Amino acid sequence: GAGVSQSPSNKVTEKGKDVELRCDPISGHTALYWYRQSLGQGLEFLIYFQGNSAPDKSGLPSDRFSAERTGGSVSTLTIQRTQQEDSAVYLCASAGGARAQPQHFGDGTRLSIL
């Protein structure tokens, strides 16, 4: 498809398990963002990838969170030893490059930790 694709759309898991969320950005977009959104709230920045540069990880809330972007395209966000407070919608966005460029969002992964 032409848009940003995220999978799975929903994930329910038990506390303590690891989860992996996937983002497939728009082809050719060099910038990729991960955000977290609690119900009906604004977005919390997690991490930013730009081309081959070192990612900006300043928004990751703890060392249980990590992200990779392979080949400058697909990205995975991994949460280890999940906690109930990790429950949220995780959104991915890609952009053409420069910071002022519009971000194109996927529909998110709704993560529920039991």
Partner 1 sequence: TQLLEQSPQFLSIQEGENLTVYCNSSSVFSSLQWYRQEPGEGPVLLVTVVTGGEVKKLKRLTFQFGDARKDSSLHITAAQPGDTGLYLCAGAANTGNQFYFGTGTSLTVIP
Q: How crowded is residue 68: how many other Cβ atoms within 10 Å of its Cβ?
A: 13
Residues that bind partner 1 (CB under 8 A): 4, 33, 35, 40-45, 48, 50, 56, 58-59, 91, 93, 99-100, 102-108
Nearer to partner 1, 14 or 99 (CB): 99
Which CB, 2 or 100, lies closer to partner 1?
100
Considering the complex, what minimum distance in angstroms separates the CB of residue 17 from partner 1? 24
Cα torsion angle, 6, 8, 10, 11, sign: negative
Structure tokens at 100: 């002022």
Q: Which is nearer to partner 1, 50 or 82 (CB)?
A: 50
60 CB-near residues (< 8 Å, 6+ apart): 46, 47, 66, 67
